[in-house]
Amino acid sequence: MTQCWGIYREPSHSPGRIDDDAGIMDAVAAALADHDLVATLLPPEAADAAFAAPAAGIFAMCEREAILARLDDAVGSGIPVVNAPEAVRNTYRRRTVERFRLGGVPSPASRIVPAAAPGPAPASQVWVKRPDFHATQAADVVFAGSDDEWRAALAGFVDRGIHEVVVQAHVPGDLVKFYGVVGSENQPRWFHWFYHRDQELAGHAFSLDALRNAAFRAAGALGVEIFGGDAIVGPDGRPLVIDLNAWPSFALCRTEAAAAIARHLACTFNREASAPRLATSRMG
Ligand SMILES: Nc1ncnc2c1ncn2[C@@H]1O[C@H](COP(=O)(O)OP(=O)(O)O)[C@@H](O)[C@H]1O
Ligand SMILES: [Mg+2]
């Protein structure tokens, strides 16, 4: 059996989801035993042991910069880290907007504007979103369907000391939640989706391939290997990705997701362990 490490998400980054976020990590640790990997799980503030002797690798659900910087160092010394810390940073909306554009990800028109002097709204109906983390409170993602609402939304961000926002065109349609784990030569990618529950479904027809391709293109643009997100399917059947998160809680598909994640981690950790660089350092 080979040792590896998991690092939980910070409870402050799991609003209303602390148990589910811990639950997927625990389930992955259990599933790794099928691959002869023994995972020890640590909270980010007490993760020294993982960095002192990273063994096969580290899988991490944490998001704060202090621990991401430590994970950067691990990556720099050749330790496999999933998701990579830079990929987690790429899920900050400010970066996501740019990377989706460069990567040709099907997504609604989005741009970054100064909250204090934004000019008129770029569309009649928009969503105004904080530029860094995903929403931890309702005020982080605000709909504006009129000029007054647009100004009020921006003023709300300025009041909270947030001086730059992402503004995204509203897309009417069916809200789809999706989940994925990337694959490799030897292992198929894993994908799961469902309609968000609290909505009046229009039932616009769409191609599962188109949704899957949009999701994996989005994940590829950010470099996340274990991910979840939201897409809207409009009347034209084209899924547009509106949000992408690193390592969600997978609460409604935990067992299946844990098995897929464990397969991917085993593959990544074993691949890196047999790479020439590590073999050389072991010999030397
Ligand atoms: N461009 C958009 N078009 C339509 N609905 C949106 C759009 N952006 C956000 N929403 C709605 O707001 C919700 C939250 O937005 P999202 O970007 O997913 O932020 P978060 O998941 O961080 O709260 C979405 O699930 C969706 O219902
Ligand atoms: Mg979302």
Instruction: Name all domains of the chain by residue range, CATH numbers in brackets.
Output: 2-83+254-283 (3.40.50.2300), 109-169 (3.30.1490.20), 174-246 (3.30.470.20)
Ligand lying closest to the C-alpha of residue 96: 1
Which positions ≥6 away from 213 have C-beta within 8 Å?
none
Q: Which residue CA neighbors atom 10 of ligand 1 most closely?
A: 127
The pLDDT, as a whole number, for residue 277 is 47
To 5 degrees, how large is the angle CA 64–CA 9–CA 178?
105
Ligand lying closest to the C-alpha of residue 135: 1
Residues 202 and 175: their CA atoms lie apart, in Å, by 10
Length in residues, the chain: 284
Residues 11 and 24: their CA atoms lie apart, in Å, by 14
Q: Which residue CA neighbors atom 1 of ligand 1 most closely?
A: 170
Residues 274 and 115: their CA atoms lie apart, in Å, by 50
The DSSP-derived string for the chain is: -EEEEEEPPPGGG-TTTHHHHHHHHHHHHHHHGGGTEEEEEE-GGG-HHHHH--TT-EEE----HHHHHHHHHHHHTT--EES-HHHHHHTSHHHHHHHHHHTT-----EEEEESSS--S-SSSSEEEE-SSSPPSSGGGEEEE-SHHHHHHHHHHHHHTT--EEEEEE---SEEEEEEEE--BTTB--EEEEEE-SSS--------HHHHHHHHHHHHHHHT-SEEEEEEEE-TT--EEEEEEEES---GGGHHHHHHHHHHHHHHHHHHHHTSHHHHHHHH-
Per-residue pLDDT of the chain (284 residues; tens, 9 = 90+): 899 999 999 999 998 999 999 999 999 999 999 999 999 999 999 999 999 999 999 999 999 999 999 999 999 999 999 999 999 999 999 999 999 999 999 999 999 999 998 789 989 999 999 998 777 788 899 999 999 999 999 999 999 999 999 999 999 999 999 999 999 888 899 999 999 999 999 999 999 999 999 999 999 999 999 999 999 999 999 999 999 999 999 999 999 999 999 999 999 998 766 655 444 443 32
Residues 111 and 122: their CA atoms lie apart, in Å, by 9
The pLDDT, as a whole number, for residue 140 is 93
Give which of 178, 182, 192 is closest to 264, Cα–Cα: 182
Residues 141 and 128: their CA atoms lie apart, in Å, by 6
Tell which one of 127, 175, 238 to mutate to probe ligand 1, the residue whose CB is within 8 A of the most ligand atoms.
Answer: 127
Tell which one of 126, 166, 242 to mutate to probe ligand 1, the residue whose CB is within 8 A of the most ligand atoms.
Answer: 242
Residues 198 and 49: their CA atoms lie apart, in Å, by 42
Residues 108 and 94: their CA atoms lie apart, in Å, by 14
Ligand 1 centroid – CA 183 distance (Å): 27
**Do residues 190 and 258 make contact, with C-beta atoms less than 8 angstroms apart?**
no
Q: β-strands 226-233, 174-181: how paired?
A: antiparallel
Peptide bond just before 90 cis, omega within 30 deg:
no
